[in-house]
Amino acid sequence: MTRFKRRAMTQTHAPQANNAPRHDWTLPQVEALFELPFMELVFQAASVHRAGFDPSEVQLSQLLSVKTGGCAENCGYCSQSAHFKTGLKAEKLMDADEVIARARAARDGGAQRFCMGAAWRELKDRDLPRLAAMIGGVKALGLETCATLGMLTADQAKQLKDAGLDYYNHNLDTGPEYYGDVVSTRTYQERLDTLAYVRDAGMSTCCGGIVGMGETRRDRASLLHQLATLPSHPDSLPINGLVPVSGTPLGDKILRDGAKAIDSIEFVRTIAVARIVCPRSMVRLSAGRDDMSRELQALCFLAGANSIFVGGKLLTTPLPGQDEDSALFQALDLRPMGVGRTAEAVAAE
Among the listed residues 238, 334, 244, the one whose alpha carbon sits nearest the alpha carbon of residue 291: 244
Which residue out of 102, 146, 269, 275 is catalytically annotated?
Answer: 146
Taking alpha carbons only, the member of 178, 328, 300 closest to residue 240 is: 300
Kindly state the greatest CA–CA separation across the chain.
Answer: 57
335 is catalytic: no
Give the whole-angstrom CA distance, residue 86 versus residue 78.
9
Least confident of 94-103, 176-185, 238-247, 307-316: 307-316
278 an active-site residue? no
Cα separation, 289 vs 138, whole angstroms: 25
**Residue range 135-143: average pLDDT?**
95
**Any catalytic annotation for residue 75?**
yes
Q: What is the mean pLDDT of the chain?
A: 88
Over pLDDT 90: what percentage of the chain?
Answer: 69
102, 206, 220, 269: which one is catalytic? 206
The residue type found at 67 is: K
Residue at 181: amino acid letter: D
Amino acid at 23: H
Q: Known catalytic residue: 207?
A: no
Per-residue pLDDT tens digits for 141-197: 999 999 999 999 999 999 999 999 999 999 999 999 999 999 999 999 999 999 999
Question: Could you tell me which residues come within 8 angstroms of residue 288 by beta carbon, excluding any fewer than 6 positions away?
Answer: 212, 240, 241, 242, 243, 261, 317
Q: Can you give the pLDDT at residue 320? A: 84
Look up the pTM and report it.
0.88
146 catalytic residue (yes or no):
yes
Catalytic residue status for 289: no
pLDDT at 321: 85
CA distance 326 to 341: 17
- For residues 290 and 319, the answer to whether their CB atoms sit within 8 Å is yes
Least confident of 22-36, 231-245, 306-320: 306-320
Structure confidence by residue, pLDDT tens digits, 40-91: 999 999 999 999 999 999 999 999 999 988 888 888 888 888 888 887 788 8
Packing angle of the helix pair 154-163, 128-139 (nearest 10 deg): 30
pLDDT of the residue at 19: 66
Q: pLDDT (tens digit, 9 = 90+) per residue, 260-304?
A: 778 999 999 999 999 999 999 999 999 888 889 999 999 999 999
Domains of the chain: residue spans and CATH:
29-336 (3.20.20.70)
What whole-number distance in Å separates Cα of residue 108 and Cα of residue 57? 19
Q: Which of 71, 207, 278, 300 is catalytic?
A: 71
The pLDDT-based confidence of 339 (bands split at 50, 70, 90) is low
Catalytic residue among 284, 289, 300, 335: 284
Based on the number of CB atoms within 10 Å of its own CB, is 9 exposed (0-12), middle (13-18) or buried (19 or more)? buried
| 71 is annotated as an active-site residue | yes
**What number is the average pLDDT over the span 312-333?**
84
CA 202, distance to chain mean position in Å, is 19
Least confident of 100-109, 156-165, 221-230, 318-327: 318-327
Q: Is the pLDDT of residue 119 over 80?
A: yes
Catalytic residue among 6, 78, 186, 269: 78
Bridge-partner residues for 308, per DSSP?
60, 285
Judged against a pLDDT cut of 80, whether residue 18 lies above it is answered with no
Q: How far apart are CA 138 and CA 108, in angstroms?
A: 13
- The residue from 102, 107, 115, 289 that is catalytic is 115
* Distance of alpha carbon 64 from alpha carbon 325, whole angstroms: 18
Average pLDDT (9-38) is 75
As a whole number of Å, the end-to-end CA separation of the chain is: 26
Q: Which of 200, 131, 198, 132 is nearest to 162 (CA)?
A: 132
**pLDDT for residue 345 is more than 60:** no
349 pLDDT more than 60:
no
